Amino acid sequence: MAHGFMYLVAILDVASRKVLSFRLSNTMTADYCVEALEEALAKFGRPEIFNTDQGSQFSNEEWINTLKDVGVAISMDGKGRWIDNVFIERLWRSLKYEEVYLHAYTDGTEAKAALTRYFSFYNSRRFHQASSTIHRMSHILADSRPRPPWRPEPWHRTDNPKTFCRLRRQTALLV
């Protein structure tokens, strides 16, 4: 935006890395954060624990009471501990480099529309490292074919002649 700032809050599911809800505001009050929280709770239910940083919006009585009313345990990061909230920090980095820095929004309405499109892409089509690992693991577990034993490369040599012979025989059986 050419003039002023916009503040963004996103509710992120740590297990799936999906953005459950978000809100954009031109003020740093807690009301837009509580709206995003209430939307996420209404759509996806109550989590066991909710982690935030120590921002004034998240230590606000309205925010805390919303979580306490539904019986959610509250966790806050340690001061200066970015690693405690690494998943949302990673989301912020991706959002900035893949969307915000590439576009010059004229107003909050345009920014909200662009963020809605980006989070839809982020949740459904964007490649995530964690999901690729899960995908590969589920693919391997679903594959019931027996795996061949380890094959040494032809140039593989050891100092022990017995090991070399055993490896050569094993290779010969697999070829």
pLDDT at 174: 34
Same domain, 163 and 86: no
At CA 64, angle to CA 123 and CA 91, rounded to 5? Answer: 25
Is 114 part of a structural domain of the chain?
yes
Adjacent-strand bridge partners of 76? 52
Query: In the structure encoding, which two tokens stand for residue 157, read together?
Result: 């040599």
Same domain, 79 and 163: no
Same domain, 150 and 98: no
Same domain, 41 and 115: yes
Same domain, 160 and 112: no
6-26 b/e with 16+ CB inside 10 Å = b? Answer: bebbbbbeeeebbbbbbbbbe
Same domain, 77 and 158: no
pLDDT at 80: 66
CA nearest 15: which of 42, 49, 43, 39?
49
pLDDT at 119: 92
Give the CATH number of the domain where residue 94 resides.
3.30.420.10
CA nearest 60: which of 9, 112, 4, 6?
9
pTM: 0.69
In total, how many domains does the chain have? Answer: 2
CB-based contact 21:10 (threshold 8 Å): yes
pLDDT at 96: 92
Domain of residue 154, residue span = 145-174
Series of mean pLDDT values for 10-residue runs along the chain (175 residues): 84 87 92 94 91 85 93 81 77 90 90 93 75 39 40 43 40 33
pLDDT at 147: 40
Neighbouring CB atoms inside 10 A of 52's CB total 22
